Structure 1
Amino acid sequence: MFPLMAATGHPQAGLFGFGTLRLSRPATWQQGLALLAGIAMGVIGVELARHHPLSGTLALAAWGLAAAAAAVLWVKSPALLLAPLPLIGLAPWSGWISFEELDLLATACGCGGYLAYALQLNARDRAPAWRHGLVYSPAVQLLILALAASAMLGMWRGFEDAGGFVFGWFHGYHEPMNSVRNGKALFLALALLPLWTAAAAARPRGFSRGLLLGLVLALAAGSLAALWERLAYTGLLDFSTDYRTTALFWEMHVGGAALDGFLVMTLPFALLALLRTRSPWWFAAGLGVVLLAAYAVLTTFSRGVYLALPLMLVPLVLLADAQRRRAAGSGPESSHLDSTLGAVDAPLPRLAKLGALAMAAAFALAATLVFTGGGYRGLIALFFVMAMLLVMPASLWRPSLGQRLTAVLMGAVLALLLGGASWALSVAVPKAAYVLNVVALLCCAALRWRDAPGQTRPVYVLLVTASWFWLLSTMVIVADYWGGTTGRWTSMAAGLALGGVWSAMLLEPRLWPLQDAGATGSAAWRKRALLVAGLLLVMAVVAALGGGAYLRDRMATWKEDGLFRLTHWREGLRLLHGPEQWLLGRGTGRFVPANFYEGANEARIGDYRLRTDEGEAYLALTAGKHVLGRGELFRISQRIAAPAPGTAKVTLVSRTASDATLVLEICERNLIYPDNCHAVASQLKPQRAEGADPQRVGDWQRQTFEIPGVQAMGGDWWAPRFVTFSMSLDARGGRLDISRIALHDAQGRALLTNGDFNREMAHWFFSSDRHHLPWHMKNAALHVLFEQGLLGLALLGSAVVLVLARLSFGRGRDHPLAPAIVAALIGFATVGAFDSLLDAPRIGFVFFTLLLLGLGLRALPGEGVARVA
């Protein structure tokens, strides 16, 4: 099913060249099939690009550039495809949801890659079978075929449930094309799998590195988008506002956990790359990506993500450590592993592990205590204390035990005297507490710089110990200056805990987890940098929990939310009728309409339809039948340029059958959290001729509304905010037909595009800010069960279990990316226990990519695990 399509590279008849570029006609039947696949994906991609709502010309140009890049770099095509994934969702601007930029990029990479392989562009020598990086057994091939057949059957049943297949460029969640939107992720991954099989055969290491690079760059891009969102809309350190980060994942316009699933599937690859890199520059870059991602994780305020982190990171570390141990061994099990990337670091002794745990626990306790009383200033001072502790030189342990004990006792006395004088000065002189903390820090740094490795200097030990204890006391002074009595006593308790841990480690060298690395060894700076990053992460968690009321509230309501989820799952499963639907599912993409028509009133959300009347298009907008609040309104929106300050005017041609309240808003919003809104709510009444049927929809009427007091919008240049115009109905079950709508700002500029809907829903987008349950099954397994039945769930579950088994214990366990793929799938399953995930195409594509590759990846001679720190 998946031929090993390694390019031959020997001269072929009909060879022609363009400078250094050499192409050949397909020489094998595999290359012939690749040529057909490339042409087919090119036709599909060009047709999609031509119809892009924003600009067909620009879309075609971008598609062509992506296809050319994929042709040149086809072995590393996963990097080209995955890296921009979190940034290319333009649905809030384009109005496209059935098709999107993911489809354009996938077809471009497939077209360019398949044509490059078929025409032998940059031909590779044919790799022997034992060098093929992706190998699928017949049983696995049957399983993949069964997965594809189940997904195809689910889409067909979805079309049938929607009343038959009807093609449309702008279908919503109720129409047949939603089955395509929900089901395409697997088929996009399958369409590229033969190309990736060829790449893994031609250059196994290049393909693996391309996959790793693509996922790490994707994580960096998504995390930067999250950082921008927080900076623009809430502020970086605001953990109390009811605002959950969505980044640029438009799929969260009706709630969901697209960003959550993306983070847990990409973060393991960045962590694995960070552990294995030996270059200081790449290490610094990787550390920056991980810290950015940690901030994004924190600001999701997702309990599922927080739960997933330990559940996926522990297996990641254990599997990577097992790979390291096998690489360090001398038996036949390690004979095929690469040994060219440096010596394997020795594992920590048992007492050193105990010391590391004690240090981590002491810091976590200290951070909690200090932040409670001393706030952010006390927490920063504590960070300096720990940073200096982590760079303690190995020469401190050269003196005898008695000399080290003397240094601890005398150093504590000297620090007590210095601390008392410093406290008195901080009371007398404003801001002196911060200056003294910096002076103590500089003293510690200067003494560390004056270290003489290999020399026994008891006085030096005394000075280092005294200066560090003094730095610890200034941390207490900073907390006292900021937080008063509470800050003083909480930080004093924290200082005693840290001082006790350090004293024990200085007296018992085996407890010190960093001493074996030496003062200048290559592992020393990496371990210390990782520990410093860990300190920053702990501080971030403490600050979010201690300083963020929103996160505390979410943590406090987990039980109530769990009961809501259970009720929602039961009600969702009641929508499956009869053995056939339980076995084969109700159909892909059919949960929302089934819930709408058969669920309770709370599930009857708003909707829209495009209609025509005498050749003129109009939008039929309906409100939900649930309790409507500002956050529960169903909105149709368009992103606009920032309006000029003053009064904006809306011209509307509409009709209605009953009284309805129309809400028109101009807000700054990224997706579902409006801010700085200017709105007008108008009561609309039907207009009918005398004697007309009162139940019939009224006649068309033209009205003008004013939105007064519009202020400067758009945010700062360094943190821009998107400006959105939206319309909604604040009337339960109400309906309004809109034929034309126009918005002009105070300067008379027209701000809306496609206000007559003659281009269907181009540029228009919909959202539900707070009412999310009716849009999702809220569990990935139950989502698959609903759409594809028990058969589809069993097939997908079997594939996931098989990947976890073969990459943890089987043939693929020594592949460099095996620990990260296992961790990513565990993270996906954990977050998927609380959300659907697979109803977001980009998240589904990443998941199926990792799943399909995990079914075939294997370690190769000379291509095994890189070294782990």
Structure 2
Amino acid sequence: MALACLAAALGLAVQHPLGAGPAVAGVLTVSLLARYFWILWPAWMLALLPLAAGAPWTGWLWLGEWDLWVLASAAGGYAAISGPHRQPLPAVQPPWRRELRWRSAAWVSGLALLVSLCLAAELGIQDAGGWALGLYDTPHEPGMALRSVKAALAMGLMLPLWLRSARRAPQALTPALLLGVGALAALSAAGVLIEHLRYQGWQLSALDYELSGAYWEAHFGAAVAPAMLVLCLPFAVLAVMRRRSPLGFVVSSGALILSLLALLALWSAKVGLALVASSGLMAYLSWRQRQMLRSGVSDPASSWFPGKVPTDADRPASRGPAFAALALLCLLGGAVAWRLQPLGGSRAVWGIAVVVMLLMLQPGPSAQATQKQRGLSFALGGLVALALVGLTLLIAEGLPRVSYLAFALASGLSLLLARWTRRGQAPWNSPLADALRAMVWLWALGLVAVMSWTWAGEAVWAWAWWPLLVLALAWPLSQDRSLGGAFIDLGWRSRLAGVMALLLGAAALSFAAPGGGMGALARWGESHWPKRLQHWGEALDVLEHRQAWGFGVGAGRFAALYQANAPLDMQPPDYRWRHAPDGPLLRLAAGTHSLAASEWLRLNQHIAAAPPDLRLRLQARAAEPVSLRAEVCQKHLFEPIACRSQDFALATSAQGWRTFDLPLGGSGELERSGPWSPGLVFSLALTQPGQRVDLRALSLQGRDGVELLRNGDLAQDLAHWFPSAHRNPWPWQLQSLPLHVLLEQGAVGLALGAWLLTLALARLGFGSARLHPLAPALAASLLGFAVLGLTETLVDSGRVAFLALTLLALGLGLRATPPVQPAPAPAL
């Protein structure tokens, strides 16, 4: 098995469009990692799924780096099973110690679902013309049938490795899985946020820009990045709940904050509904699990998992007043930020968030300070801070950016002073040091108004003076031992949790406030509902017409069926590669109805540069003149931010090929200036309804004469060419997971999938897995995925489908093993 998997992986690697050398090296590296870390790799490999994202550069749609990843991991894992081993293997654990065991019902149902998927693949391939598979098959060709079922086949390939890891080292399974999925959440979120920062800046408004992160499968409108984050988010929450060390808590909190910020940037009503359902279920199951363990049920052997659920003896003293003070401080900061947002915008919101965070992290006053000295420290600090704010304001009149630098300086000084004061060493444990801390914090607070003033002008002062004054009074209250003593006694964990909540609240406030994007996104989503309902009805009509309710029409056939059943005046756009007697060609067809520019079908290729005086040369053939748009844009994957584009009227003839030399121009303004610069993408699209054209011999060059296109002659099929129509998902996506399964696999496949999901949720909530540490997170992930799938297809992405099936399989097999009892003392 190991040799077969390695041969298949290397066979695909040598045909990789970006070069066989790096692909082969990657396969061998992953195989070695899986071979020597076979206990942990089945879980760790999940973390690196976002890196398998080369399709926009390779042109592979139904194959990809993810296939190489799985095959290489399986090769290494099966090689580890067969040996030899340099060190003795861990002993096989007795059945009662194994955390992963599937009962007969799960095995039979899972095999039935796999058979249903294989049958759907066979039906889809036969409907597409048979097993004539190509590496670059388009959405209408046979390869797409396998794209829909590869995740299940990969899961079947990896399942024995999961079982072996659980049998030999059950204590490693749960921590490795938490680390793998938590890291996957962080990497997925980082991809989304990096794209947002590079192309959109800091404002969390996604109406005119659809983020995709590392998930190119969104090229036809799939919500892939939100689905991956909804699946991973409960594990990030669980990591925060279980970590006990400050470093672990900070790292886990960072992953959680990244995930939530990314979800805010990807926000929609369906994402919000999925998060509400997921978080509600996780909160209930975590509370119930905690109550059961505190009521006398022993913590299971899974307590190898980091952290421990406390018993009654571990209950902390009541901290109600402290938590109330923390909550009131957060609410006060939120109210002030909401007041300042209309004029100050996101800079005011984030400034107030940082100021309140600094206050949360402050220690109490020095021990020898009296009540009168504390009051004098605040008054003295306030006077000096007022002078510093005035000085900064005078400088900012000529240099507005100085206010931002001063705010960063004040914030850093506030953190340093808090750290030095906590050490309790002279001179930082004196009333004078308290006055210095108050001065720096009040200076940072005043600078929020200055930053807002540089943006909105004099109107800020009348709007902001009293909210900032109210917030300034929080300093003496938090430092007073009679009123603020409860707050001072809070530990690091509670303070960091408050900081995390504050940062997330600031992001949510920036997004939800007027002009922040949430209202516009809600209106945009509502406008799509009538079209969505009509779309679903048309799919059901196809099932009725073909009488395929039992076993479906076959996998990967939706795009072809949509095109075949669309009215003549509503035909979707299309593209095909053909090998004609006179050479290969690319056939482009526009839809027969008007589409907005963002809805056109584009054929894209990433290019390395955009020098001055760009020229496009091509040969074209068409029955009538066509309008062709050629563009070079700064893009991540799909959404342009700056373009050099031209519309060309091609006077073609159906009898023969004509050569065109088309000037795109430019002065090099799109050139990349560094690794952080936006990527460059060349695109072709037909702009008028009903047009068709054949293209070949494409060449794009600048003044320097260097060829910028790869495979411009189309001799390598569609290598390096990548389609996108992400604002027009209807011809490519059914936009509903249950209906997608019903269309491809029929009622049998839908019933099997629903049964397995129900069985997994029942086991995690009420069955033998209910006490397992991962049970709340697994159940929440599966429910959130199911809710999001009500209005999204999701499983068209092999990576998302693989993760969802992995979590489903774990939900069906995990169990809370009996606790490890200490050995009895020998009798005397």
With structure 2 as the length reference, what TM-score do the two structures score?
Answer: 0.86
Alignment of 1:643 with 2:598, yes or no, is no
Mean Cα deviation higher: 665-674 or 244-253: 665-674
- Cα offset for 1:810? 2.2
Which residue of 2 is the match for residue 538 of structure 1? Answer: 505
Corresponding position: 1:166 with 2:128: no
Distance 1:69 1:569, change over 3 A: same
- Report SS of the residue matched to 2:18: coil
Aligned to 1:286: 252
- Secondary structure of the corresponding residue to residue 715 of structure 1: coil
Query: Could you say if the C-alpha distance between residues 440 and 740 of structure 1 is closer, same or farther in structure 2, counting changes exceeding 3 Å?
Result: closer
Task: Specify which of 445, 460, 484 is matched with residue 487 of structure 1.
Answer: 460
Alpha-carbon distance, 1:823 to partner: 2.3
Pick from 560, 567, 581: which aligns with 1:614?
581
Letter of the structure 1 residue corresponding to residue 47 of structure 2: A
Contact kept in structure 1, 2:381 and 2:435, CA below 8 Å = no
Establish whether residue 821 from structure 1 lines up as the match of residue 751 from structure 2: no
Name which of 59, 63, 73 aligns with 1:95.
59
1:332 aligns with 2:294: no
Within a 5 Å distance, the mapping from 1:565-584 to structure 2 comes to: 565-577=532-544, 580-584=547-551
Which residue matches 2:108?
A: 142
The residue that corresponds to 2:736 in the other structure is 779
Q: Deviations over 1:333-355 (max 9, x none)?
A: 44656389578463666666655
Give the match's secondary structure for 2:588: strand
Q: CA 1:716–1:79 in structure 2 vs 1: closer, same or farther (change >3 Å)? A: farther
Partner of 1:309: 275
Find out whether 1:269 has 2:239 as its counterpart.
Answer: no
Alignment counterpart, residue 721 of structure 1, candidates 673, 678, 681? 678
Give the conservation status (yes or no) of the 8 Å contact 1:384–1:441: no
1:113-124, aligned counterparts within 5 Å?
113-119=77-83, 121=85, 122=87, 123-124=89-90
CA contact (8 A) 1:476 1:491 kept: no
Which residue of 786, 790, 812 corresponds with 2:769? 812
SS at match of 2:278: helix
CA distances 1:22-70 after superposition (whole Å, capped 9, x unpaired): xxxxxxxxxxxxxxx3233233223222332332343223212211211
1:369/1:844 CA distance change after superposition, 3 Å: same
Residues 480 and 183 of structure 1: is their aligned pair in 2 closer, same or farther, counting only changes over 3 Å?
A: closer
CA contact (8 A) 2:478 2:487 kept: no
Alpha-carbon spacing, 1:83–1:334, altered in 2? closer, same or farther (3 Å): closer
Aligned to 2:168, which of 185, 202, 207?
Answer: 202
Residue aligned with 2:666, SS: strand
**Contact residue 612 and residue 665 of structure 2 kept, 8 A:** no
1:834 aligns with 2:791: yes
Which secondary structure does the structure 1 equivalent of 2:164 belong to? helix
Matches within 5 A, 1:374-773: 374-393=344-363, 446=417, 450=421, 474=446, 477-478=449-450, 481-482=453-454, 483=456, 487-488=460-461, 490-492=463-465, 494-495=467-468, 517=490, 524-546=491-513, 550-577=517-544, 580-600=547-567, 604-614=571-581, 616-648=583-615, 650-687=616-653, 697-773=654-730
Whether the 8 Å contact between 2:601 and 2:685 is mirrored in structure 1 is yes
Contact 1:239 1:547 in 2 (8 A): no
Q: Given the alignment, which residue of 88, 91, 105 partners 2:69?
A: 105
CA distance 1:343–1:574, change in 2 (3 Å): closer
In 2, distance between residues paired with 1:323 and 1:511? 34
Question: Which of 369, 394, 400 is the matching residue for 2:339?
Answer: 369
Counterpart among 782, 786, 791 of residue 748 in structure 2: 791
Give the aligned residue type for 1:331. G
CA deviations over 1:441-482 (Å, ceiling 9, x no partner): 9689758854799xxx99999979987995697367547745
TM-superposed deviation, 1:663:
2.1
Question: Do 1:355 and 1:512's aligned partners in 2 also have CA atoms closer than 8 Å?
Answer: no
- Contact preservation (8 Å) 1:270, 1:289: yes
Q: Out of 128-137 and 331-340, give the one that drifted further.
A: 331-340
Match of 1:24?
none
8 A contact 2:601–2:725 mirrored in 1: yes
In the alignment, the residues of structure 1 paired with residue 636 and residue 417 of structure 2 have an alpha-carbon distance, to the nearest angstrom, of: 48
Which structure 1 segments of 5+ residues have no match? Answer: 1-36, 518-523, 688-696, 865-869
Shift in alpha-carbon separation, 1:603–1:251, aligned structure 2, 3 A: farther
Distance in 1 separating the partners of 2:629 and 2:183 = 41
- Match of 1:223, SS state, is helix
Give structure 2 stretches of 5+ with no counterpart.
Answer: 822-828
Aligned mates of 2:469, 2:139 — CA distance in 1: 59
Whether contact under 8 Å (2:330, 2:356) holds in the other structure is: no
State the aligned residue count.
804
Deviation string 1:237-291 (CA, Å, 9 cap, x unpaired) is: 4747721211121111122111111111123222322332233333333333333
**Shift in Å, 1:506:** 8.5
Name the CA distance, whole Å, in 1 between partners of 2:489 and 2:546: 64
C-alpha contact (below 8 Å) 1:309/1:827 kept by paired residues: yes
* Selected match of 1:299 from 265, 272, 280: 265
| Cα offset, 1:603, TM superposition | 5.6
Q: Pick which of 676-685 and 388-397 moved more.
A: 388-397
Distance of aligned partners of 1:105 and 1:436 in 2 relative to their CA distance in 1, 3 Å threshold: closer
1:117–1:558 distance in 2 versus 1, CA, 3 Å: same
Range with greater deviation from structure 2 (575-584 or 830-839)? 575-584
Deviation at 1:721, TM superposition (A): 2.6
Paired residue secondary structure (2:585): strand
Q: Does structure 1 conserve the Cα–Cα contact (< 8 Å) formed by 2:221 and 2:729? A: yes
1:346 match: 315
Please name the residue that 2:824 is paired with. none
Instruction: Describe the shift of the 1:444–1:192 C-alpha distance in structure 2 as closer, same or farther (beyond 3 A).
Output: closer
Aligned-partner Cα distance in 1 for 2:75–2:630: 44
State how far apart, in whole Å, the 1-side matches of 2:281 and 2:367 are: 35
Shift in CA distance, 273/847, structure 1 to aligned 2, threshold 3 Å: same
Q: Say whether the 8 Å CA contact 2:206–2:265 is kept in structure 1.
A: no
* Contact 1:377 1:478 (C-alpha < 8 Å) held by counterparts: no
Tell me how far 1:515 sits from its aligned partner.
5.8
2:9 corresponds to 1:39: no
Shift of 1:818: 2.1
Greater mean deviation of Cα atoms: 199-208 or 706-715: 706-715
Task: Report how far residue 613 of structure 1 moved.
Answer: 2.4
TM-score normalised by structure 1 residue count: 0.83
- 1:822 maps to a residue whose letter is A
For residues 420 and 106 of structure 1, the distance between their equivalents in structure 2, rounded to whole angstroms, comes to: 62
* In 2, Cα distance between equivalents of 1:657 and 1:320: 66
* Residues 575-596 of structure 1: per-residue CA shift (max 9 Å, x gap): 2225842332222111111111
**Which residue number in structure 1 is paired with residue 151 of structure 2?**
185
Task: Assess, with a 3 A threshold, how the Cα gap between structure 1 residues 825 and 598 changes in structure 2: closer, same or farther.
Answer: same
Q: Pick closer, same or farther for the CA change 1:808–1:655 going to 2, 3 Å.
A: same
Over 3 Å counting, the alpha-carbon distance change for 1:478 and 1:667 in structure 2 is: closer
Contact (CA 8 Å) 1:244, 1:301: kept in 2 or not?
no
Counterpart residue type for residue 346 of structure 1? R
Tell me the equivalent position of 2:826.
Answer: none
Task: Tell me if the contact between 2:445 and 2:472 (Cα under 8 Å) persists in the aligned partners.
Answer: no
Structure 2 residue identity aligned to 1:598: N
